[in-house]
């Protein structure tokens, strides 16, 4: 597939497993009690250069930004590993619905660019609580110039969820948090520096979710230290 050669830069040799929205809801529900954040290190070329009004970057400029995003992603993962938190690399994209002009047959085509993010979860049993997790989110947001990150405190302390900006202020508050709502609109957090959140997708686009495949050996699991694994099928 066209997208796989591009996404392989982020997923490495481990491959991907596609998730339904229900699968993603299961992932998020598992960590509601302890707390988690969702954050990315990516920026669009347009956001990085401050372009607006429909102005776009050249192909060369976009390629340079993609390279920078890839390097930032690797650095972010190293920072998370060093912090002691568990993390889940999550890869998103769109399937664009295409209708054949001659036959009227509808097919879905994957995008060729990964929308990637990291779900980082609190680990209170080893002293890595949600306050330290929030501080890590702020550190990453500042370092990679992110507008905000998604923060869910433990349900026992706060049933709400928030977008926190890089100054530490609440940018948006959700009074009734449900994991299925986050899963449904997961891609708005993966929009690489754009401010749109929790908005409807265009009618011709449907969401796709991917996590890395489960390790195939103990050696591979050790190489992926700190990563939380899932097997859905």
The tens digit of pLDDT for each residue in 140-169 reads 999 998 888 989 998 888 888 898 999 999
Burial class (CB in 10 A: 0-12, 13-18, 19+), 220: middle
Residue 229 domain-assigned?
A: no
Alpha helices (runs of H) in the chain, residue ranges in sequence order: 2-11, 21-29, 45-49, 59-83, 130-143, 179-184, 218-223
Q: What is the mean pLDDT of residues 198-222?
A: 68
The answer to pTM > 0.85 is no
Mean of per-residue pLDDT scores for the chain: 76
Residue 231 domain-assigned?
A: no
Give the number of domains in the chain.
Answer: 1
Give the C-alpha separation, 214 to 17, whole Å.
9
Residue 7 domain-assigned?
A: yes
Q: Residue 184 above 80 pLDDT?
A: no
Residue 233 domain-assigned?
A: no
Residue whose pair of structure tokens reads 């928030």 in the numeric block: 162
Give the domain range for residue 22: 2-223
Residue 230 domain-assigned?
A: no
Residue 210 domain-assigned?
A: yes
User: Quick one: which of 226, 211, 213, 215 has its CA closest to 91?
Assistant: 211
Confidence of residue 134 (pLDDT cuts 50, 70, 90): very high
H or E element that contains 207: strand 205-212
Q: Residue 10 above 70 pLDDT?
A: no
Higher pLDDT, 217 or 53: 217
């Amino acid at each position: 597939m066209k997208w796989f050669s591009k996404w392989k830069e982020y997923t490495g040799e481990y491959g991907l497993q596609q998730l339904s929205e229900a699968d993603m809801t299961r992932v998020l529900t598992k960590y509601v009690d302890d707390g988690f954040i969702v954050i990315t290190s990516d920026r669009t070329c347009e956001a990085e250069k401050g372009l607006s009004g429909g102005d776009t970057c050249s192909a060369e400029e976009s390629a340079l930004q993609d390279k920078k995003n890839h390097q930032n992603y690797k650095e972010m993962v190293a920072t998370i590993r060093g912090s002691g938190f568990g993390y889940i690399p999550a890869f998103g994209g769109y399937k664009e619905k295409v209708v054949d002009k001659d036959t009227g047959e509808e097919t879905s085509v994957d995008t060729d660019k990964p929308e990637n993010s990291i779900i980082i979860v609190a680990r209170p049993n080893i002293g890595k609580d949600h306050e330290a997790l929030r501080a890590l989110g702020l550190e990453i947001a500042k370092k990679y110039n992110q507008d905000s990150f998604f923060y869910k405190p433990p349900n026992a302390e706060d049933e709400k969820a928030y977008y926190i900006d890089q100054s530490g202020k609440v940018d948006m508050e959700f009074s009734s948090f449900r994991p299925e709502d986050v899963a449904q609109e997961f891609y708005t957090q993966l929009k690489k520096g754009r401010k749109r959140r929790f908005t409807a997708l265009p009618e011709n686009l449907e969401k796709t979710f991917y996590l890395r495949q489960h390790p195939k050996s103990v050696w591979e699991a050790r190489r992926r230290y700190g990563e939380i694994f899932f097997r859905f099928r």
